[in-house]
Amino acid sequence: GQQVMQIPQYQHVQEGEDFTTYCNSSTTLSNIQWYKQRPGGHPVFLIQLVKSGEVKKQKRLTFQFGEAKKNSSLHITATQTTDVGTYFCAGPEAAGNKLTFGGGTRVLVKP
């Protein structure tokens, strides 16, 4: 079945620094979604990418969908303590209407 992998599993970042987290699918995706889960909270939708090579920005967050539509990245600039949480990517299965979630990247920010 489809697999969605995220690296790194953990990311310790100094406040003010930039970092990137990556999402890789075993199959070509029609779209990819990103969610953020704060500690003790529930996942909240951030963004959806649909087109090959698409880049979208949300303030300090930049999301990119790979040309082959099998990978995606999230880049955060000038990390703040509010960025703490787990970032999940999710891709739809080719057949059916289910999303497969990656294992997430847990981001810890050092002040």
Partner 1 sequence: DGGITQSPKYLFRKEGQNVTLSCEQNLNHDAMYWYRQDPGQGLRLIYYSQIVNDFQKGDIAEGYSVSREKKESFPLTVTSAQKNPTAFYLCASSSTGTSQETQYFGPGTRLLVL
* Residue 41 CA from chain centroid, whole number: 17
Tokens, residue 41: 């909270």
Among positions 21, 102, 107, 109, the unique one binding partner 1 when judged by CB under 8 A:
102
Taking the least distance from each CB to partner 1, the nearer of 43 and 66 is 43
By CB under 8 A, the residues from 58 to 87 that bind partner 1 are none
Q: Is 41 exposed, middle or buried (0-12, 13-18, 19+ CB in 10 A)?
A: exposed
Pick the closest to residue 52 from 37, 34, 64, 35 (CA basis). 64
Binding of partner 1 at residue 43 (CB under 8 A)?
yes
Binding of partner 1 at residue 30 (CB under 8 A)?
yes
Site residues, partner 1 (CB under 8 A)? 30-31, 33, 41-45, 48, 88, 92-93, 96-99, 101-104, 106
